[in-house]
Every structure is written in structure tokens, then in C-alpha cells.
Structure 1
Amino acid sequence: MTWAPGQVLMQAGKVVLFMRLLCSLPVVLAWSDQAPTAFQITIVSTTTGVSLVLILAWSRVVPFIMRHPATVIVDVGLSTGLIAAAGVDSPYVAYLFCGALLVGMLFAPGARTILSTLIISAFLAESIVQADLAQAPIGIGAVSVSATIITVLVCVHMGATLRTLQWRVDSALEVAARNARDAALGEERSRLARELHDSLTKTLVGIGLQAAALRLRHPESTETASRISAAANDAVDQSRAILTDLREGSGACVAESLRSSLAEVGTLYGIHVRSDISDQSAFVSDPAVYVVRKITEEAVINAAKHARVDTVDVTVRTLPGWIVATVADEGTGMRHRESSDGVGHYGLTGMKERAAAINGRVGIESKPGAGTTITITAPLEGAEQHG
């Protein structure tokens, strides 16, 4: 089963609506001891009917509600009516909590704040009215009212947390799908490159060799054979250029792939990764690029897990014969022994070993409370090797 973006949150909202229906049960059961008034019957019937309609048409109603937050005023009015009918200390106050949970789930911070304030204000107003009618001192019931307000705020926060989690899941799925498409495209490019190499390029080389043999065997055809040989050589050069493009792709594609990968890491671990990656940092055929990329991703993950930061900065540049990546954060930092020897839980030893396998190195600058900067440097293929 394929889930559309936001679908989990949509289903969670329907569960909340079912919970609202259950809130009417204690009130209805209480009618066996005390006959309900016409107002109570009307308001309970109305709220039950509204909840049923919302459940049945939830997927169609939600987009409209999210575009028009003012429609929630109707629900707040019904909630206030329920409290007026059953009392501020009745179980029906839970209906108010369900509404607050939906507000947190469906709306952005601005609308969420306004609607939360409206819900609390309506409840406070009804509490004051009922206290006046009962001629009770203001202090009576203050604890219950305060607890209700706090619970409303907690429900709004819970809904907002669910909304944030849904956004992260949607973002991660989107990035994963895009990476899967890129991987499939890369496999197709590799397949085409193999077929081109095995058929066309070898055929063109064979034509060139046959033309050279023709020139030797039939001197009178030297000019024609030379033209055929030159054309075949040009075609071979062009096919090799196409092969290179198919196998390596453009620099922008590789840079974008790394950006997408870092974005996926950021989404999964709940941090913002600011990437500054040069489009020239893209030598796909060079194994150093892959290793540096994996070390960079690991460094970002380590920062997300251990540095207690919201933002990590990543820079990737190419110098003559070298590729250099830097991962920096302003987090908790490390002691000198941890950064130099790789002890502890940061996985620095493994990063250094991977870099050493390609004649690269990992430099670490860190102090407790002053953040960490990890620099990965590796030689590119064909560059002079340094110890």
C-alpha cells in the first residue's frame, strides 16, 4: 500500500474524531439519573452529528478546513455549548481536548496560536459565567480550570509534534524516492555505456583497422582508405566522449546527488544541513569522491547524534589534484584525546581508516563547548601521491 504525503496524519485525525464521539457517552449515560434539558439534547445531538459527518467526509473536508481556519470557530462554539450544558467539570471537557489536538495537527504556528487562544478564552468565559451563576467564590474551581487550560496547551503541542513528524517522514520519503530514481537512472546509463562499448566502439575500431589494411594492400586506394580511417577514428573519439558522459554524468548531477544525500541525513536526524558544494567537485570515476562523500555523511550523522546542534555546515571543494570536504558544527565539542585518538563514540577511527585507504587524511579541530570541525582531504586519480 502506497501512502500519500500527510496520509498518516490524516488517519490520526480520524482517530481523534472517534475519540470525540466517545466523549458523549458519559453525558448520555448520566441522563438515566437526571432527565436532560432540551438544550442538552440539542447540543449533544449536534456535536455527535458533526463528528459523524467529519469522519465520513474527512479526506474531503480537511483541505477546506486547512485553507479556512475560521471554520474552527464553529467547533469552538459547539465545544462551549457542551460545556455550558454539562458543566466545566464534566467528562465532556475531553471534547475540548480533542479539538485542541486537531488544531495542533492541522494548522501552522500562526493559526495554531490564534485558535488555541480562542479555545482557552471560550472555556474561561464559560467557567466565569458558571461560577457567577452558582455564586461561588472566584477561587473555587481555579485548580480545575487551570488544569484544563494546561491540558489544552499540551494537546495542541502534541498535535503540532505529530504534524512535524509527518513533515519529516514526507520529506524523507521524497528524498528517498528521488535518490531511487537517480540510482535507477545511473544503472540505465551504465547499461547503455556497456552496450555502446561492446558494440559500436569495437565496430568503429574494426573499421579503422580494415581501412589501414586496405591502404597497405591497395596503394591506389590510399586516399579513400585514409578518409575512412580518419572518419572511423573521429567516430571512436565521439563514442568515447559519449561513454565518458554516460559513465560519469555531469558535475552538477554529482554535486546535486551529494546535496540530496545530506538533505536526507538532515531530515532523518532533525537537523538543518547547510551545504556549499562546488559543482566542480564531481569526479565520479575517481574512487576518492565516493569515499570522501561517505566520510562526510558519517561526520554529519555524528554531529547530529552527539554534538547537540540544530545546524551543521558542509563545504566541498576541489583543488588541483585534491578534493577537500569540511564538516563544522558549534556543538559540545570533544576533548583533545577524543579528537586526536578517536576514542569514545564518535567513530573517528573508522573515518581516518577509510581516508587512509585512498591516501587521504582526516583532520579534527575541537574543544569542549567550542564545536568541532572535521576536514577530509584526499588526492584525486592521477594526482601526485603524498604521504
Structure 2
Amino acid sequence: MGRDFFPPVPPAESARPTVGGVVLAVAAVTLDVLSYLAPGEEGTGARVTVPGVLLICLAVVPLLFRRQHPVPVLGAVLGVQLAVNTGLVVDPGVAMSNSYGAAVSVALYTVARYSERRAVALSVVAAAPVQVLRYLNTDQAVLGIGITDVVVTPCLLVAIGLAVRQWKQQLDINRRLLADRAVTEERRRIARELHDIVAHHITTMYLMSGGARSTLDRDPETAREALVTLEESGRTALHEMRQLLGVLRSTETPDETPSEPQPGVNDIERLVADSVAAGLPVELHVTGRPRPLPMTVGLTLYRIVQEALTNARKHAGPARATVRLTYLPDRVAVEVTDDGAGGGDPGTNRTGGGYGLLGMRERIALHDGSLHVGNRPEGGFAVTAEVPLPADTYELDSNDEKDETPR
């Protein structure tokens, strides 16, 4: 079998009619009643009677369940229309209306929306003889209006139903894709946070434990300080992990949402101090007038500095590092450089294929910023990132300069 471009859509699960469904059923039957009461100049001549009105109104009952049972509902509506077209309760043999029937139109459209294509084709065929009966005892040209009613009208209704079905299915596909993308982005965000937390603190703990072991016999005081730093790094890692898990487990209830803020640019000094304690001399230079930044921007800059210093401690060897944080009128830039083993020629780099670089690129991409990572021509390694700021955070005065050299 070929591909079905219009697969059937499962009908609504609710057994109760919706408000919209009730309104549509009443409106369709009302139009049919009006067509019977005011047939116009080309009316059939059938008498207007109460039983005739009640017969037309019967169609409202099956229409209320058209989504749950589209084909049976169409059969019931066609039965009512058959009685109308043959004048069963008024003047037998005289059609009560010249119209195709709004109730039949709604039912046929519903079949096209919710049923398989074989049922749609059979429904069009079944509706044809019911409509032909209206022209048996009239003077109207069957080849003109009759062909329009019997052929064109149902085909048009089916085409509209299939088009709406395809449109709704495409909307559902797009909605699922957006939901999957949101889940994927959230997984990436969690992976970035976990990597940054674990990699930084585990590296610090690894270096400090090695330093404590090597100096334990000849310099117990230095070993003790290293162990204290090791303990603090482990405690901080545990705290940040608990904070991240708290965010994941929190609900939308304000009382249950973690209130402790995420780290930002003000916490970069702590990163520098940790790196110095781990054996990597680091200098921090802040240029421009510091000002409050959006939380996501501050967290992005913090994580980039954290990852860059972690990589420097792991790969640079005996080296010194410098962190430059620059506040510009419309953006904030951060640069982390070291003079250690950069990886050879200036054209090469020390980026590798780890998750750290991927995480930095993803963070910067979320803010439409720029990231440059690679070896310096004079030796060493450099990570430079720029993040644009929202207009309401611009400050034109960026002449102040602040330099800090951690102990």
C-alpha cells in the first residue's frame, strides 16, 4: 500500500459533547429549519408543519456525538435527510427543502476529519442518492444544480475536512517537536551544570589531595592547609549538587522553589582563590564600572571562567593565569589566559573534544555571544567570550578600572 497522507485521527475520548459541538449542532439544524420555513422563490412547495420542523430537529441529537462516532452519526443524519427529501411526514413525494442540508454537511465533514479514507469514500457515495431524491419531482435541471449538489458539494466538504486534518496533524507534530526540543535543551543544561560543578571541584580535590600527600612528611602545615581546601571544595561541590537537584525537583509553587541564587560574576573572585589554593597563580583584572547583570549572563560568565581555570590547572602545567573581566557599554567580555603548555604551534589548540568546550559554546550561543578558544602566538592558551547585554543594562560610563591580584 502507498503512503496514507491523511491517516485517521482518533476521535475525542470524552463521551460528553463539548460546548462548541453543541453550538455547531444547534446552528446546523437551525439553518435546515430556516431552509424549510423560508424556501425562497424556487421552493419545493411543501407545506410547513410542526411534524416537519420536529423531523428536521431530530438531526441535532446524533450531531452531538459526531466526533466520537462520525460514521454512525452520518448514517443517522442521512436517515433524517432522506425523510426530509421524500417529504415523509408532510407531503410524501415532495421534498421539504432544496438545500444540501447543513446537518449533512457537518456530518460529512466530520467523517473526513476523523475516519479512514475508505469510510470517507463510502460516505460520499452514500450521500449521493439521498440528495438525488430532491430532484425527482421538480422542474430543476438535474445536470446543473443537481450535479453541483450531488458531486461538487460533498467533494468540497471532504477536501476541507482532509485539509483541516492535515493541518491539525502538522500542528501536533510541531508541538511534539517543540516539546522534545525543550526536553533536549533541558538535558543539555543539566549536563552543562553537572560537568562544570563536578569537573571544577573534582580537579581541585585531586590536585589538593596530591599536594597534601607529597608534603605530608616534610611540611605538615602545608598539607593541613591543602586538606582544609580539599574539604571546602568537597563541601562546595556537594552544596551545588544539592542546589541543582533542588531546582530539578522543585515545582511551580513559590514556597517550594529554591531561593538561593545561582553563582555570578561576583563569585569569580572565589574561583580565582580556589585556583591559587590549588597551585595555579591567578590574577583578576576588572575593567569598567561593575553593574548588576542578568542572572543568566552572570552564570554564563562564571561557568566559562570556572571551566577555563579548571582546564588550565589540568593541562597548562607550571604556569600563571590571568582573568580579565571587562564591562563595555553594550556587552560584557571575559578573557582567561595562561602562559603554560599551549599545545605547540600557534595554529593548533588545546581544546580537545571534551564536554567543557561544548558546554561553553552552548552557553554563549544561548545569548548570541561569541567565543574564541585557542593557543596564543606568544605561548599559552586563551579563552575569550563576549555576551551582549539587554538595552536596559547599558551604562555609558566604563572608564573605571579595578585590578585585583589574589594572594
TM class by smaller structure? 0.3 to 0.5
Larger radius of gyration: 2
TM-score norm. by structure 1 comes to 0.44
